[in-house]
Chains A and B, each alone.
Chain A
Amino acid sequence: MAQITMTQALNLAIDEAMAEDDGVFCLGEDVSAKQGGGVFKVTQGLTEKYGEHRIRATPISETAIIGAAVGAALAGQRPIAEIMLMNFVGVCMDQIVNHAAKLRFMSGGQTPCPIVIRTTTGVGVGFGGQHSDMLEAWFAHVAGIHVVTPSNPADARGLMRASIDANDPVIFIENILCYGLKAEDPGPGYRVPLGKAAVAREGTDISIITYGRTVLDALAVAEDLAKEGISVEVVDLRTIAPYDEATVLASVRKTGRALTLHEAVRPFGTGAELAANIQEKCWHDLKGPVRRIGGTFSAVPFASHLEQAWIPTKPQIVEQIKAAMGKL
């Protein structure tokens, strides 16, 4: 099978969804051929196939972009709206939180809002304080939204198809540092159901619950620690909210130890919710408290060495695992 990058995986998923359903269309800043097919090239080549009505380059107007997606969804279409960088959701939170997320409920089920909001972010590329944040917890705290993020190209293809199929809003987070990852193409029509985590690596001593780019760190650490006789299980949530509680709890019941890991800042992060739930439901299976790793509680800094000090690192993960195992 062919190898594809995550960028290609996302492009293929959007392309095949647009080919199958005339109601699927993209809108966002710089997405059309005139601007090169998106700042990270995810929509490259689609304008030529589907025209400018279905790959709509928009003004820099996040509120108008999401509002338009909401309205089109209410009229039965399936818009894929791009918010170029995740921090810009701050401009259009009203449309996402007060409208997209709530219209199904407030209308008594009459107006579902099937939109995919693609957005990209990531720490480690020197974009500084307003272009790097992982803000998934903001959305995980709102009822009526799926929050999704892939850690590899196959999941990117499958999660994007499933997100476009979904009859509710999806925040689809793409990590800038993952676009270039290469893996085997799962092929046309591939779908990864929303709300299903993957056990990315099986283990018996501790469960790392993570998602997105930090899955790669977790897998690398698991590989290293295997050499020292520590068996690490890695659970890739894939859908951050509502998450696959059954897979998470089963993993923790098996290993008896849990570590949550995310790039987003630690206080009030998704790791806190996961830890609380695990401790409520797996208390008697746990050999120690659930540990949490997240980004530093400050703005993402610019200077490279500061950024590397800010972000969760592999040595930190190793340290937390060894502490949990009583091996420090």
Chain B
Amino acid sequence: MAEIDRDKLLDIYTRTMKVNRTDEKFRALLMEGKVAVMYYCVRGQELVSAAAMAALEKDDYVVCTYRGQGEQTAKGIPMEKWWGECLGKATGTCKGKGGTMHITDPETGIMVTTGVVGSGLPIANGLAMASQNNGDGRVTLVSFGDGAANIGGFHEAMNMAQLYKLPVVFLCQNNRYGEHTAYADHTDSPNIATRAAGYGMPGVTVDGNDVNQIYPAVKEAVDRARRGEGPTLVEAMCYRMMGHFFGADFSYMPPEHLAEMKAEDPLPKLRKVMLEHQFTEEELDSIVADIDAQIDAAVEHALAAPLPDTDEIYKDVLEETA
């Protein structure tokens, strides 16, 4: 595979750390009791989201899940709006009416964040169908987990996407757990990507902890889609290093599995690649410090922001109530 150039590596690193520092901050706020909301941790999956978003153009569409912080922040939702929504404030992307599981920001291409496992795939097809109909050249990427591969909508959507050669990329973040159920307890086939063959679609399984695998794989899928050659299923092997949601018991994860995860942690691996490309420790640290400062400011802004007016419960139901 082609070498990733330094500019793109820096881009991916910056996005990865944005995802990671946002995740760390969120968990810290939850631990401190400063906020009390549902949050689905992305520790261990930062690189997959960041590399995938770095493979897209600004105008491309994204559909993600409740565990979508990585896609949302890496695609570039302004931090103040993102934190505002997660804290249920009027300044949020959705005026506090969507919340952590339903972040929408069409300006950055985050079109739907679904709270229902597997429901994003059929919707991604529709976004891609619109692009195919009107020739706008956009690609749609939909992110989902291994658990979603077992719901009917996955199969219906994969078949339809291939039938119409839709410009869509199916990104399966195989984080080895579907909710609280380990991969081996919900699926007997070794990989998800092999299912693509059943629909006549290319499918690839790559190491989601290795930037030199995940980025080129998604980029090729995006390019293929943009060339009008149809969809690809990219399966990124990664680890969900925490429970299903923040605060959930994850003592069911076996110790050897936790050790395996730690050894494969994408962050030290990415840092190593960056150093190999002659980025200095100081440069990398200063990027993180800069991100932390932005996040802190965004969190302060969101904490101080006003709550949505209670009249909002009657608004945006139908156009007449807008």
Give A contacts to B, CB under 8 Å.
22-23, 25, 53-54, 56, 58-59, 61-64, 66-77, 79, 94-95, 98-99, 103-112, 143-144, 146, 166-168, 195, 242
B220 to chain A: closest CB distance in Å?
Answer: 23
Are the CB atoms of A66 and B319 closer together than 8 Å? no
* Contact (Cβ within 8 A) B119 A67: yes
- Contact A71–B98 (Cβ < 8 Å): no
A242 to B314, CA, bound (A): 14
| Chain B residues within CB distance 8 Å of chain A | 61, 63, 92-98, 102, 104-106, 111-112, 114-116, 119, 121-134, 140, 152-153, 156-157, 159-160, 163-164, 312, 315-320, 322
Q: How far is the CA of A67 from the CA of B123 in the complex (A)?
A: 4
Q: Cα distance A107–B102 when bound, in Å?
A: 7
Pair B104/A71 contact, Cβ less than 8 Å = no
In the assembled complex, how far is the CB of residue A166 from the closest CB belonging to chain B, in whole angstroms?
Answer: 7
Known: A70-B126, A107-B97. 16 other contacts (CB 8 A): A56-B129, A59-B160, A59-B163, A62-B156, A67-B157, A68-B125, A71-B122, A74-B106, A74-B112, A74-B126, A98-B116, A106-B98, A106-B104, A109-B95, A143-B317, A242-B318
Q: Which residues of A contact B96 (CB under 8 A)?
A: 108
A106 near B94 with CB under 8 A, answer yes
Contacts of A107 in B (CB 8 A): 93-94, 97-98, 102, 104, 316
Complex Cα gap A112–B319 (Å) = 8
Query: Inside 8 A of A58's CB, which chain B residues have their CB?
Result: 160
The answer to whether A53 touches B133 (Cβ under 8 A) is yes
Please tell me if the beta carbons of A111 and B111 are within 8 angstroms of each other in the complex.
yes
Query: In whole Å, how far is A153's beta carbon from the nearest beta carbon of chain B?
Result: 27
Flag if A94 contacts B127 (CB, 8 Å): no
When C-beta atoms are compared, the residue in chain B nearest to A112 turns out to be B319
Of B112, B159, B315, which is within 8 A of A64 by CB?
Answer: B159
Q: Is the CB of B129 within 8 A of A167?
A: no
Specify which of A22, A25, A94 lies most central, judged by the most chain B CB atoms within 10 Å of its CB.
A94
Assuming the contacts A67-B123, A71-B122, asked whether A77 and B97 have C-beta atoms less than 8 A apart, the reply is no
B112 and A99 form a contact (CB under 8 A)? yes
Task: Return 27 A-B CB contacts under 8 Å, by A number.
Answer: A22-B133, A25-B133, A62-B156, A63-B153, A64-B157, A64-B160, A67-B125, A67-B153, A67-B157, A68-B123, A68-B125, A70-B122, A70-B126, A71-B125, A72-B127, A74-B126, A79-B126, A94-B153, A98-B115, A99-B114, A104-B317, A107-B102, A108-B98, A109-B95, A109-B316, A109-B322, A195-B320
Contact: A68 with B126, CB < 8 Å? yes
Asked if B116 and A108 make an inter-chain contact with CB atoms under 8 angstroms apart, the answer reads: no
* Complex CA–CA separation, A53 to B128 (angstroms): 13
Least CB distance, B292 to chain A, in whole angstroms: 28
> Within the complex, which residue of A72, A99, A110, A143 is in contact with B129, where a contact is CB–CB below 8 Å?
A72
A107 to B61, CA, bound (A): 16
Q: Once the chains bind, are B119 and A75 in contact (CB under 8 Å)? A: no
Q: B30: shortest Cβ distance to chain A, in Å?
A: 22
CA of A221 to CA of B222, assembled, Å = 63
- Do A105 and B160 touch across chains, with their CB atoms under 8 A apart? no
Q: A63-B122, A98-B119, A168-B318 are in contact. Are A76 and B130 (CB under 8 A)?
A: yes
When distances are taken between beta carbons in the complex, the residues of chain B under 8 Å from A110 are 93-94, 104-106
- Given contact pairs A71-B129, A72-B126, A103 touches B119 in the complex (Cβ within 8 A): no
- A268 to nearest B CB, angstroms? 22
Shortest Cβ distance from residue B110 to the other chain A in the assembled complex, whole angstroms: 10
Cross-chain contact A166 with B130 (CB below 8 angstroms): no
Give Cα distance in the complex from A242 to B95, angstroms: 25
Q: Which residue in chain A gives the minimum CB-CB distance to B123?
A: A71
B318 neighbours in A (Cβ, 8 Å): 104, 144, 146, 168, 242
Residues of A within 8 A of B126 (CB): 67-75, 79
Q: Top 7 closest A-B pairs, CB basis?
A: A67-B122, A71-B126, A75-B130, A108-B95, A64-B156, A108-B94, A107-B104
- By a CB distance below 8 angstroms, the chain B residues around A56 are 129, 164
Chain A residue at minimum C-beta to C-beta distance from B131: A75
Contact call A64/B127, Cβ cutoff below 8 A: no
B-side contacts of A73, CB under 8 Å: 126
> Looking across the interface, which residue of chain A has its beta carbon closest to that of B159?
A59
Given contacts A104-B316, A111-B112, A112-B319, contact A61 B160 (CB under 8 A): yes
In the bound complex, residues from chain B placing their C-beta under 8 Å from that of A95 are: 119, 122-123, 153
Query: Which residues of chain A have C-beta atoms less than 8 A from B132's C-beta?
Result: 53
Contacts of A99 in B (CB 8 A): 112, 114, 116, 119, 123
From B93, B124, B152, A108 is in contact (CB under 8 Å) with B93
Select from chain A the residue with minimum beta-carbon distance to B318: A168
Which residues from chain A contact B131 at a C-beta distance below 8 Å?
Answer: 75
Query: B129 — which chain A residues lie within 8 A by C-beta?
Result: 56, 68, 71-72
Closest B residue to A75 by beta carbon equals B130
CA distance A68 to B98 in the complex (A): 22
